[in-house]
Amino acid sequence: MAEHHPERQSAIDAHGIIGDMRSAALVNDQGSVDFFCWPEFDSPSIFCSLLDTPDAGIFQLAPDLPEARREQIYLPDTNVLQTRWLSERAVVEITDLLPVGDRSDTLPLLMRRVRVVSGQATFRLRCAVRHDYGRAATRARADKQDVTFSADGQPTLRLTADRPMRIEAQAAVAEFTLKQDQRAAFMLGAGDDPRLGEDHGDLYLERTLKFWRDWLRQSTYRGRWREMVNRSALAMKLLTSREHGAILAAATFGLPETPAGTRNWDYRYTWIRDASFTVYAFMRLGFVDEANDYMRWLRGRVSDCRGQPMKLNILYAIDGRQELPETELTHLSGHGGARPVRIGNQAYEQIQLDIYGELMDAVYLVNKYGDAISHEGWKHVQEVVDQVCETWQNEDVGIWEMRGEQHHFLHSRLMGWVALDRAIRLASKRSLPAPFARWDQTRQAIHSDIWDNFWNEERGHFVQYLGGTALDGSMLLMPLVRFVSAKDPRWLATLDAIEKHLVRDGMVYRYRNDDTGIDGLPGTEGAFAACSFWYVECLARAGRVDKAHLEFEQLLRYANPLGLYAEEFDSRGRHLGNTPQALTHLALISAACFLDRKLSGTKNCWQP
């Protein structure tokens, strides 16, 4: 594709996200939709200039106000985004949304609404749909007042407008001038979407605002960080499939963990680990339906149509597809020149033994605060736990999906213990039949193995894997899953070591690749945002509340102006990796809830 010009691309943290729980689009603070996969989260993109140039697809809409101050806000308590321009000549706002339809299978419709608040402004529009990640030759054609976009074998899209448009370079373009209180509206959707021919934009906006606000009112959080917690909840809900109940790791693919680096992955899928953590966060805020919906989706992954158990994979497509082979989009130059751009994720072939623990923790909590487990469901749990008993001593690639050698990772052992512990607790509370003696014997064996073999006396801290000496940010989960007391001397020594070697201004690295060379990938990466919030919670649980409070406030300043977070931070606290990242937002919620509790002495949301 076109030669890379990084100055044309917006920073990762210069974006808001809109969505309808079937797909999502990123809108930058210049008024351009520069990332949009349609019609599903993991469908091929139709706008992908975030990972290349405008030639990869873009929907530009902005006033000619080069001197204006630009800002973005969400309409309160919603995922409806507004981009604003403020200048001496005019104040302008563009409202963007994907309307939430009456049905879960309604195809996504992109609505863009322009309004001049004061003054007068001339606007320029360019909508360049590029099918199949920009690989298909898309043709734009005038169709009365509309423009249609088609490509062989690809769905036809139609753009409607209440302003005249013309075709240039296979894109719809327009120029128009609006005075104070004048408006313009644009809608892009399926070629046969009946909503495109209707003048019901105000109704769709009001319904969508009502949907998000009604949903958020269910939150039980009343703490001091309500705005940030609510934004995190809204981001996680946006990443939840309304039709299937699956929960995405992130909305994007290919955004780099290192500027101009090669660590560029596709996160538009459901990881059992991340989604199970998200269930924990939803339930913490009182959103029980989301947790129950996810568990129903999960039942379809662990058993077939006859109820027979199936192998549990690490990740799945939202519709349950198991095979997600990686492909490199060599025609895309990448964000900031970071190549290759990958779609699919070969991690689906990996062995990660920790997922059973995260899964069982979610099952336990849903049964405690949501729907009780069925007879068939308990049979599947027994299959999972028996598998943990058989495999917990095996090597794997660990939580961070290492692409180097397999090891006996501490985190995988820890989560094996969690799987057994939660299964035993669930069976006891529900009076369910279980091989208690065998499960408890294995639980005790894992407990002893961690204390005996993963504590390094010479280093004075726990270690990442058996025989190693390195630290790992996932160790921060040890007190959070109640394996070790948050004030145990050995744990505090490990926490101090993590502070010394993995923490930089409150930002926590997963591990130091330059020290261990363990992940089998070239280069390094940024600090991991979720680990940074786990660190805050560990400090608070250890009684270091003032320090936790300060670190938390600093991390909140690293959010983008809309309160969103990507996967990682660079050395300046700017965002790296795919965005928004569910794991980051749920870790923020967990830290906020516990820190609130310590600072106020009251429970502002449910605590496990």
| 129 shares its domain with 258 | no
User: If you average pLDDT over residues 3-13, what whole number do you get?
Assistant: 70
Residue pLDDT, tens place only, 360-392 = 999 999 898 888 899 988 998 999 999 999 999
Is the omega angle on the peptide bond into residue 489 within 30 degrees of 0, that is, cis? no
| 561 shares its domain with 421 | yes
pLDDT confidence of residue 521: 77
| 130 shares its domain with 194 | yes
CB 41 within 8 A of CB 268: yes
| 210 shares its domain with 229 | no
CB 396 within 8 A of CB 353: yes
Residue pLDDT, tens place only, 432-444 = 999 999 999 999 9
- Indicate whether 368 belongs to any domain: yes
Residues whose CB is less than 8 angstroms from the CB of residue 406 and which lie 6 or more positions away in sequence, other chains included: 351, 395, 396, 397
| 233 shares its domain with 210 | no
| 307 shares its domain with 167 | no
Q: What is the DSSP letter of 34?
A: E
pLDDT confidence of residue 306: 63
- Indicate whether 288 belongs to any domain: yes
- Indicate whether 606 belongs to any domain: no
> How many separate helices (H) and strands (E) can be counted in the chain?
14, 26
Residue pLDDT, tens place only, 19-63 = 999 999 999 999 999 999 999 999 999 999 999 999 999 999 999
pLDDT confidence of residue 7: 44
pLDDT reading at 417 higher than 70: yes
Q: Looking at the 3D structure of the chain, how many domains does it have?
A: 2
Express as a percent the part of the chain with pLDDT over 70: 96
pLDDT confidence of residue 305: 60
| 232 shares its domain with 204 | no
pLDDT confidence of residue 515: 47
| 205 shares its domain with 266 | no
Residue pLDDT, tens place only, 182-195 = 999 999 999 999 99
User: If you average pLDDT over residues 161-165, what whole number do you get?
Assistant: 96
- Domain-terminating residue out of 214, 239, 273: 214
- DSSP codes joined into one string, 292-329: HHHHHHHHHHHB-TTS-B-PPPSEE-TT-------EE-
The residue among 466 and 301 whose pLDDT is bigger is 466
- Indicate whether 1 belongs to any domain: no
| 445 shares its domain with 482 | yes
| 146 shares its domain with 250 | no
| Three-state DSSP class for residue 575 | strand
CB 116 within 8 A of CB 91: yes
What pTM value is reported for the model? 0.95
| 273 shares its domain with 239 | yes
Structure tokens at 382: 């027994």
pLDDT confidence of residue 518: 65
- Indicate whether 607 belongs to any domain: no
- Indicate whether 378 belongs to any domain: yes
| Three-state DSSP class for residue 502 | coil
| 174 shares its domain with 255 | no
Tokens 């769709």 found at: 204
Backbone dihedral angles phi then psi of residue 239, each to the nearest 5 degrees: -90, 10
User: If you average pLDDT over residues 458-466, what whole number do you get?
Assistant: 97
Residue 523: which pLDDT band, with cuts at 50, 70 and 90? confident
CATH of the domain at 133: 2.70.98.50
Tokens 């890379």 found at: 4
- Indicate whether 608 belongs to any domain: no
- Domain-terminating residue out of 180, 214, 248: 214
The residue among 215 and 524 whose pLDDT is bigger is 215
Express as a percent the part of the chain with pLDDT over 90: 86
pLDDT confidence of residue 307: 62
Which residues form the domain of 80? 6-214
CATH of the domain at 442: 1.50.10.10
Task: Measure the CA–CA gap between 383 and 302, rounded to whole angstroms.
Answer: 10
Rounded to the nearest integer, the mean pLDDT of the chain is 94
- Domain-terminating residue out of 159, 191, 214: 214
Residues whose CB is less than 8 angstroms from the CB of residue 204 and which lie 6 or more positions away in sequence, other chains included: 97, 99, 109, 111, 195
